[in-house]
Amino acid sequence: MTVTDMLDTISEELRKIFRGYSLPNKLGVMQEVRIFQQYIPQPAGITVTDRLSGVANYTESDYERNFPGIVVKLGDITDSDDRRLEVNNTGLRLLFGVYDDSPDGEGWRDVAGMMEKVRFEWLKDRIIAGKFRIILPITTRLLDDTYPVYFGEMTCGVETGIPRRPRDFVYGIPPNAPPYEYRP
């Protein structure tokens, strides 16, 4: 149960939560919410203007094709001396984004709705795919106005496993002993 396993599992769970849920993209066409890990992918139409500095230009339509979307980001990983729990607290950040260039500027409502959808689902039993446990508090906030793209952030902790020494090394257990069962 590594942090990359956690990112994959949470990304898949978010795809399930948002299956069939659509919001308008830049062209006004309804599009399902896209899920990314760690970063929004680079736009397709990059033109490098200066090879030495690596400065790149791309059109707005390339960047905005990623919305509506959620970026699943790894936060801080906190180890503890209390090994009885045999878990780590791994920080999780979800960055929600939508594109809305309508004159009423109501894109923040879509972002808030997406965050609430995830929060309500996770608070039901706080277990993700039977593998990872959500650690409270779950915090949500809308980020500063970045019209026409609106962002919100959700943060929480997730219990993940810790590396352990083999039992035979620590306790002198014979190699043919039954394996220890992990209980999250």
Q: Say if 137 falls within a structural domain.
A: yes
The answer, yes or no, to whether residue 51 has pLDDT greater than 80, is: no
Q: What pLDDT was estimated at residue 168?
A: 45
Q: Say if 174 falls within a structural domain.
A: no
Q: What pLDDT was estimated at residue 86?
A: 60
Q: What pLDDT was estimated at residue 39?
A: 86
Q: Say if 45 falls within a structural domain.
A: no
Q: What pLDDT was estimated at residue 155?
A: 95
The answer, yes or no, to whether residue 46 has pLDDT greater than 70, is: no
Residue 44: band (very low, low, confident or very high) from pLDDT cuts 50, 70, 90: low
Total domains in the chain come to 1
Q: Say if 176 falls within a structural domain.
A: no
Q: How far apart are CA 129 and CA 102, in angstroms?
A: 37
Q: How far apart are CA 160 and CA 173, in angstroms?
A: 26
Nearest residue to 66 via CA among 90, 108, 37: 37
| Tens of pLDDT, residues 117-170 | 999 999 998 888 888 889 999 999 999 878 888 999 999 999 876 655 554 445
CATH assignment of the domain containing 110: 3.30.2000
Q: Say if 172 falls within a structural domain.
A: no
| Tens of pLDDT, residues 62-115 | 667 788 999 999 888 777 665 555 667 889 999 999 988 888 878 899 999 999
Please give the residue that has the higher pLDDT: either 75 or 14.
14
Q: What does DSSP assign to residue 51?
A: T
Q: What pLDDT was estimated at residue 83?
A: 54
Q: What pLDDT was estimated at residue 148?
A: 87
Classify residue 50 as exposed, middle or buried by CB count within 10 Å of its CB (0-12, 13-18, 19+): exposed
Q: Say if 21 falls within a structural domain.
A: yes
Domain enclosing residue 19, as ranges: 3-40+65-164
